[in-house]
Amino acid sequence: MSALWLVFSILSEVAATLSLRASNGFRKKLWLIPVVAGYGLAFTFLGLALAAGMPVAVAYGIWTAVGIALIAVFARVVWKDPLTRRMILGIVLIIAGVVLVELG
């Protein structure tokens, strides 16, 4: 169950971060609703994942690594943000580091 809570946490955080970008520096006020709701849900679900027994280093590592990767891809698709080979390599290295932490 902890993995499912973590998935919900990641998706909420990604939605909140993309909404933050869409708010255009808080100029588009309606986007603040999904920002606040998304981050609130993200931390709630992360707390539930931890309460269900997932180690904090593993949960936070996966949460950040997957979040970074998803946000980079979605930002590229939606806003044409850069996603260079070097950036992709950095994401791969972050994910590899998280896997090493998880293997402990």
Residue 13 has pLDDT above 90, yes or no: yes
At 56-84, the pLDDT tens digits run 999 999 999 999 999 999 999 999 999 99
Question: Cα torsion at 17, 19, 23, 28 (round to 10°)?
Answer: -150
Percent of the chain beyond pLDDT 90? 90
d(CA 23, CA 35): 9
For the whole prediction, is pTM greater than 0.95?
no
pLDDT band at 102 (very low <50, low <70, confident <90, very high): confident
pLDDT at 50: 98
In whole angstroms, how far apart are CA 53 and each of 12, 39, 42, 72, 76? 20, 21, 17, 29, 34
d(CA 88, CA 66) in angstroms, rounded, equals 13
